[in-house]
């Protein structure tokens, strides 16, 4: 028993696919068999073997009878059969799996909420597939799933995922694929194991006896020789035989007619025009010709194209007559594709000027009904780009050109728009297309023309106020984007002010329908503010988007904002916070799995920067490589500067100072300079000069950087020390104002420079305390790089000991393995507490743990805690070694 769409036992947990579009229930409906359908027992018996093998493939040419065979077989089953027509396969793996899960639910397959639903149209989470397979594998009776039109699945990833679920589900699933081509599955393995049932094109072909029976169902009884000749000429093609039979009905000489059908390739078209179209009334013929420009239509849309009011009754009657009008459900119809194609060709010959007008009418109706995507397609088909652009702008959907599941489709559609016409809307769309390709100069020029046209349009009494407000808001959005791409924070602020005013004039329903526009605008504003060093204002704009939630339309903007916020944390010296925000841009993974890289973008750059701070250079390089899409250069100065800084720091850590200098010297083109970008690139260049023993050059370089950026002050103090001017170094460190928002990546470096300064002044107690403080702060964030960058003085401390494992366990440099027996590079130790010293003194007197506890009036567990902490700080594991190390350090 097949379960049609909408009548399943288990209701769907969602009524929409990952793109936000409602499920098309026709994709789950088992196709109805015509009254003249011929059941062929030999094929049904063969298809029964599908219950014995995990995989069944019914593949043959178009019109070979595959779908009707599977539909007839499914309807005859006592148990429920899930049906899915795979017309959504080109919408992405996530959409495909959402439809498949809905098909299973409609068939009454009970699935737990743990399986979930795909969150993205383009991909399905591996966990979802694993959980689905696991639940199916526990079924007592297998679920039968039929996927029709499987040849639409051209993405190897979807095929691999389907094969994975089939294999892991074991006896819990029987998969039947109906396809024109051999599916993208490892069929050779199934064939070798004998676990596949196949019905191929040759087997689907009608035999002479079956063809005679089919013709008889159509009231045609021909001699066996004539039937054999027809089967020979059509190669038993089911659709050809049926069309021949339909056309031959009522003919006085069916033998001659059937011969002409096979001899003349236009016979099918002649039949459809003469035997279907021309048998209708003149009004019905006109209706069919006019709706042929539509992929689907409802009675109201048909009325809009024809000027009639009775389309519902006409369409229902045509469907009932099997006159190649198919019912999709919910009052929507479509023409048989072959019939529609022939009707469109006939329309062009009969009324060549009418087709464009029909597309324009359809565009207007569909926009009013909320079907913007279809409306744009029809406006483009009419070459009416003014209407197309006006609909995109007026509906506040310009942001969809940059983000969301429709961005590629919209870009392709508007790429066909020529230089005319010119208006505010068309120029805005052209500018958006150019800016989406990072053609900033061309897009900016186009945007200026759009602004001029908008100013002229605003004075027109015929202009619709809502459309004007939407156009102004769209213009402000693009202005903010240009400001971000050119590093022009003033322009971004002006765009934000204009957007804020325009928002008040735009209907709230439009803002709710397209939240991505404001989310993207705030993202661009935050990025421009960050470039200018206005960190607090940048954080406010970016946080607004993040706090709004990760709805499908705004999810990409939210990820971008998280990447920018992560960069802010990194610049402030908080690598741990930066890492958490950067990792929040990707979907959560199972507990214990390594977090995935976010892919191209700012988040991966931040993770690479954090990896450098932890001296994980191979990981940093891999993240840097993942952060940059080689096909598209970094689009904005923030990303360009971030890439240069991370690249320079990796090169410095690997000892390639010349390459680091070259990277730091590359200017980022922007309207205004960025204080943090200048400070960080200068610190990279200064570190390279210091490594080459050019402290004076480093000092001069850092003196030229305006402002008191903490990273520059620390680097300048280190350079002054290297130049032999401790007083100047102390003065620079004194200029670092106490700031609660500075993180350990900066404060640890500052403490180490102060420690070096204290050592040169002979204050070893202060030096030890500063190093110990730096070590404590660094441990929480696993910061190794500041100690490696501190200089050779840290390795020659008279009181030093090998540091804890976390500090010396970073990956070695590429191509430079650690030598056997070599001591860790950083001989530092954290200061012991007073109570830990008390315990050590008694340990040196050979007192037991119980005796120490009694002597100090504490519990035995407290003594053990102090011992464990002391062992850790002294980098030892035993009592004897702890006493020896403490004596070496003068602690006893």
Reported as a single tens digit per residue, the pLDDT across 608-648 is 999 999 999 999 999 999 888 766 666 799 999 999 999 99
Q: Does residue 423 register a pLDDT over 70?
A: yes
Residues forming a β-bridge with 177: 57, 147
Report d(CA 194, CA 197) in Å as an integer: 8
Q: What is the mean pLDDT of residues 489-494?
A: 96
Contact at 8 Å (CB) between 117 and 18? yes
CA-wise closest residue to 236 among 94, 411, 40, 100: 40
* pLDDT band for position 362 (cuts 50, 70, 90): very high
* Alpha helices by DSSP H, 487-551: 489-503, 508-513, 516-531, 535-547
Residue 145 host element (H or E): strand 143-148
Q: How confident is the model at residue 749 (pLDDT cuts 50, 70, 90)?
A: very high
First to last CA, the chain: 87
| φ, ψ for residue 753, nearest 5 deg | -65, -40
Which pLDDT value is given to residue 2?
A: 57
Tokens of 777: 């702060």
Q: Is the pLDDT of residue 685 over 50?
A: yes
pLDDT at 819 over 70: no
Collect all residues with Cβ–Cβ distance below 8 Å to 448 and sequence separation of at least 6. none
pLDDT at 505 over 60: yes
> What confidence score (pLDDT) does residue 810 get?
47
Q: Residue 439 burial (CB < 10 Å; 0-12/13-18/19+)?
A: middle
Q: Is the pLDDT of residue 800 over 70?
A: no
CA distance 277 to 239: 19
pLDDT surpasses 50 at 462:
yes
> Could you identify the residue written with the tokens 């969301």?
404
- Judged against a pLDDT cut of 80, whether residue 401 lies above it is answered with yes
- Of the pLDDT bands very low, low, confident and very high (cuts 50, 70, 90), residue 526 is very high
Residue 135 backbone zone (phi > 0: left; psi -120 to 50: alpha; other: beta): alpha
- Which range is least confidently modeled, 229-243, 437-451, 524-538, 780-794? 229-243
Indicate if the pLDDT at residue 802 is higher than 50: no
- Region 56-65: what's the mean pLDDT? 81
Question: CA 71, CA 87: separation in Å to the nearest integer?
Answer: 17
Strands lying side by side in the sheet with 143-148:
81-85, 143-148, 173-179, 55-59, 196-199
The share of the chain scoring above pLDDT 90, in percent, equals 53
The band of 413, judged by pLDDT with boundaries at 50, 70 and 90, is very high
* Alpha helices in 782-859, H assignment, sequence order: 785-789, 805-808, 834-844, 849-856
Token pair 């919910």 in the structure block, residue = 330
Residue 233 is predicted with a pLDDT of: 67
- Strand ranges, E, within 235-350: 325-329, 332-335
**pLDDT tens digit string along 308-326?**
999 999 999 888 665 668 8
Residue 429 pLDDT exceeds 90: yes
Q: Which two tokens stand for residue 293?
A: 């420009």
Length of the chain counted residue by residue:
892
What average pLDDT does the segment 780-793 reach?
A: 88
d(CA 378, CA 374): 6
Question: Between 255 and 447, where is the model more confident?
Answer: 447
Helices (H), 589-674: 602-613, 617-627, 637-653, 657-665
pLDDT band at 855, cuts 50/70/90? confident
What is the reported pLDDT for 250?
67
Question: What is the distance of C-alpha 814 from the center of its chain?
Answer: 33
Q: What letters, b where the CB count within 10 A reaches 16 and e where it falls short, cover 698-720?
A: bbebbeebeeebbbbbbbbbbbb
Q: Please report the sign of the dihedral spanned by the C-alpha atoms of residue 873, residue 877, residue 882, residue 885.
A: negative
Query: Nearest-CA neighbor of 389 among 424, 434, 436, 361?
Result: 424
> Which of 380, 378, 355, 353 minimizes the C-alpha distance to 368?
378
Contact 292, 302 (CB under 8 A): no
Instruction: Indicate the angle between helix axes 555-571 and 602-613, nearest 10 degrees.
Output: 30
Strand 173-179 and strand 55-59: the pairing is: parallel
Residue 445's pLDDT is 93
CA nearest neighbour of 22 among 396, 328, 359: 328
d(CA 75, CA 56): 17
For the cut 90, the answer to whether the pLDDT of residue 143 exceeds it is yes
Contacts of 34 by beta carbon, 8 Å cutoff, 6+ apart? 322
Distance between CA atoms of residues 509 and 565, nearest Å: 30
Kindly report, residue by residue over 244-297, the tens digit of the pLDDT.
Answer: 787 777 667 766 766 664 433 445 676 557 766 887 899 999 999 999 999 999
Burial zone of 301 (CB within 10 Å; 0-12 exposed, 13-18 middle, 19+ buried): buried
Strand partners, 334: 326
Asked whether the predicted pLDDT for residue 651 surpasses 90, the reply is: yes
* Cis geometry, peptide bond prior to residue 361 (ω within 30 degrees of 0): no
Closest CA to 709 of 729, 673, 682, 748: 682
Q: What percent of the chain has pLDDT over 70?
A: 88
Of the CA atoms within 13 Å of residue 768, those in its CB half-sphere come to 14
Question: What does pTM read for this prediction?
Answer: 0.66
* pLDDT higher than threshold 50 for residue 93: yes
- For the chain, the maximum distance between any two Cα atoms, rounded to a whole number of angstroms, is 123
At 54 the pLDDT is: 95
* Res 573 pLDDT > 90: yes
**pLDDT at 280 (0 to 100):** 86
How many angstroms separate the Cα of 515 from the Cα of each of 210, 511, 538?
A: 59, 6, 20
Residue 338 pLDDT: 60
Q: Which of 575-584, 673-682, 857-866 has the lowest mean pLDDT?
A: 857-866
The 10s digit of each residue's pLDDT in 156-185 is: 999 999 999 999 999 999 999 998 778 889
Query: Mean pLDDT, to the nearest integer, of 401-406?
Result: 87
Q: Are 334 and 297 in contact (CB under 8 A)?
A: yes
Residue 827 confidence (pLDDT): 41
Token pair belonging to 54: 């995990």
Q: What is the DSSP string of 171-219?
A: GGEEEEEEESS--SS-HHHHHHHT-EEEE-HHHHSPPHHHHHHHHHHTT
Taking 50 as the threshold, does the pLDDT of residue 823 lie above it?
A: no
- Phi and psi for 301 in degrees, rounded to 5? -65, -40
Which one is predicted more confidently, 739 or 213?
Answer: 213
Least confident of 58-62, 279-283, 347-351, 415-419: 58-62
Say which residues have a Cβ less than 8 Å from residue 184's Cβ, sequence separation at least 6. Answer: 153, 154, 156, 159
Residue 788: both structure tokens together? 């490696």
pLDDT at 821 over 50: no
Taking all residues of the chain, what is their mean pLDDT, rounded to a whole number? 86
The string of DSSP letters for 690-744 reads HHTT-HHHHHHHHHTS-S--HHHHHHHHHHHHHTT-HHHHHHHHHTS---TT--H
* Confidence label for 5 from pLDDT (cuts 50, 70 and 90): very low
CA distance 636 to 541: 17
| Beta partners for residue 85, in sequence order | 148
Confidence of residue 804 (pLDDT cuts 50, 70, 90): low
What pLDDT is attached to residue 430?
95
Residue 368 tokens, joined = 């009013």
pLDDT of residue 278: 82
pLDDT value, residue 478 = 97
Is the separation of the CB atoms in 308 and 287 below 8 Å?
yes
The pLDDT of residue 443 is 93
Angstrom distance (rounded) from CA 1 to CA 34: 18
pLDDT confidence band for 885 (50 / 70 / 90): confident
Q: State the angle between helix axes of 208-217 and 224-234 in degrees (0 to 180), rounded to the nearest 10.
A: 100
CB half-sphere exposure, 732, CA atoms < 13 A? 27
């Amino acid at each position: 028993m097949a379960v049609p769409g909408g009548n399943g036992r288990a209701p769907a947990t969602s009524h929409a696919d990952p793109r936000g579009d409602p499920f098309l229930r026709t994709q789950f409906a088992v196709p109805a068999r015509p009254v003249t359908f011929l059941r062929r027992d030999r094929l049904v018996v063969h298809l029964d073997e599908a219950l014995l093998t995990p995989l069944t493939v019914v593949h043959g040419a178009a019109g070979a009878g595959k779908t009707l065979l599977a539909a007839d077989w499914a309807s005859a089953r006592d148990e429920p059969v899930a049906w899915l027509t795979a017309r959504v396969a080109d919408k992405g793996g996530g959409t495909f799996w959402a439809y498949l899960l809905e098909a299973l639910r409609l068939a009454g397959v009970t699935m737990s909420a743990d399986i979930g639903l795909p969150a993205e149209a383009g991909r399905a989470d591996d966990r979802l597939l694993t959980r689905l397979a696991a639940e199916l594998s526990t079924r007592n009776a297998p679920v039968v799933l039929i996927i029709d039109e499987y040849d639409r699945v051209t993405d190897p990833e979807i095929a691999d995922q389907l094969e994975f679920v089939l294999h892991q589900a074991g006896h819990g699933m029987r998969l039947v694929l109906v396809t024109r081509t051999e599916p993208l599955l490892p069929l050779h393995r199934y064939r070798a194991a004998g676990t596949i049932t196949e019905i191929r094109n040759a087997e689907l072909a009608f035999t002479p006896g079956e063809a005679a029976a089919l013709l008889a169902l159509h009231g045609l009884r021909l001699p066996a020789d004539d039937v054999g000749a027809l089967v020979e000429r059509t190669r038993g093609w089911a659709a050809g035989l049926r069309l021949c039979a339909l056309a031959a009905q009522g003919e006085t000489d069916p033998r001659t007619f059937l011969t002409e059908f096979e001899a003349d390739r236009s016979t099918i078209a002649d039949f459809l025009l003469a035997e279907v179209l021309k048998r209708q009334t003149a009004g019905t013929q006109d209706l069919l010709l006019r709706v042929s420009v539509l992929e689907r239509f409802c009675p109201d849309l048909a009325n809009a194209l024809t000027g009639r009011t009775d389309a519902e009754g006409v369409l229902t009657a045509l469907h009932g007559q099997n006159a190649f009008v198919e019912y999709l459900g919910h009052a929507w119809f479509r023409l048989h594709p072959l019939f529609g194609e022939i009707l469109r060709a006939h329309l062009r010959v009969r009324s060549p000027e009418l087709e464009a007008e029909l597309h324009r009418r359809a565009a207007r109706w569909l926009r009013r009904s909320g079907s913007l995507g279809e409306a744009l397609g029809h406006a483009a088909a009419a070459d009416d780009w003014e209407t197309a652009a006006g609909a995109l702008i007026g509906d506040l959907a310009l942001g969809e050109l940059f983000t969301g599941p429709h961005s590629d489709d919209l870009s392709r559609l508007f790429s066909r728009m020529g230089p005319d016409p010119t208006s505010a809307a068309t120029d805005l769309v052209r500018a958006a297309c150019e800016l989406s390709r990072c053609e900033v100069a061309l897009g900016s020029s186009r945007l200026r023309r759009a602004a001029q046209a908008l100013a002229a349009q605003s004075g027109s009494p015929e202009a619709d106020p809502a459309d004007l407000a939407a156009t102004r808001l769209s213009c402000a959005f693009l202005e903010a984007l240009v400001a971000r791409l050119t590093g022009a924070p003033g322009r971004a602020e002006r765009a934000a002010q204009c957007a804020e005013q325009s928002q008040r004039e735009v209907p709230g329903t439009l803002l709710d329908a397209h939240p991505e526009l404001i989310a993207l605008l705030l993202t661009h504003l935050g990025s421009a503010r960050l470039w200018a060093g206005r960190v607090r204002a940048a954080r406010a704009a970016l946080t607004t988007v993040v706090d709004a939630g990760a709805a499908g339309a705004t999810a990409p903007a939210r990820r971008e904002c998280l990447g920018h916020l992560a960069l802010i944390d990194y610049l402030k010296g908080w690598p741990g916070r930066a890492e958490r925000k950067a990792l929040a841009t990707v979907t959560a993974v199972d507990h214990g799995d390594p977090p995935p890289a976010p892919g191209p973008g700012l988040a991966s750059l931040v993770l690479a920067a954090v990896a450098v701070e932890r001296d994980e250079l191979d990981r940093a390089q891999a993240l840097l490589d993942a952060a940059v899409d080689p096909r598209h250069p970094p689009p904005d100065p923030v990303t360009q500067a971030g890439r240069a800084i991370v690249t320079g720091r990796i090169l410095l850590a690997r000892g390639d100072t010349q390459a680091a200098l070259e990277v730091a010297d590359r200017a980022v083109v922007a309207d205004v300079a960025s204080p943090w970008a200048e400070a960080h690139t200068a610190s990279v260049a200064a570190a390279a000069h210091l490594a080459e023993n050019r402290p004076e050059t480093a000092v001069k370089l850092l003196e030229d950087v305006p402002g008191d950026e903490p990273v520059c002050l620390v680097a300048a103090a280190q350079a002054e020390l290297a130049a032999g001017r401790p007083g100047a170094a102390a003065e620079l460190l004194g200029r670092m104002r106490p700031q609660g928002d500075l993180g350990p990546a900066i404060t640890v470096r500052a403490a180490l420079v102060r420690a070096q300064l204290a050592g040169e002044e002979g204050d070893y107690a202060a030096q030890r305390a500063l190093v110990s403080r730096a070590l404590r702060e660094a441990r929480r964030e696993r910061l190794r790089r500041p100690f490696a960058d501190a200089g050779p003085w840290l390795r020659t401390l008279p009181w030093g000991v090998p540091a804890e494992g976390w500090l010396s366990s970073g990956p070695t440099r590429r191509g430079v393995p650690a030598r056997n027996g070599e001591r860790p590079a950083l001989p530092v130790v954290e200061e012991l507490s007073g109570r830990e010293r008390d315990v050590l003194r008694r340990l040196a007197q050979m007192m037991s743990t119980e005796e120490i506890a009694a002597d100090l009036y504490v519990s035995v567990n407290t003594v053990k805690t102090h011992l464990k902490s002391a062992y850790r700080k002294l980098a030892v594991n035993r009592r004897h070694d702890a006493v020896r190390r403490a004596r070496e350090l003068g602690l006893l």
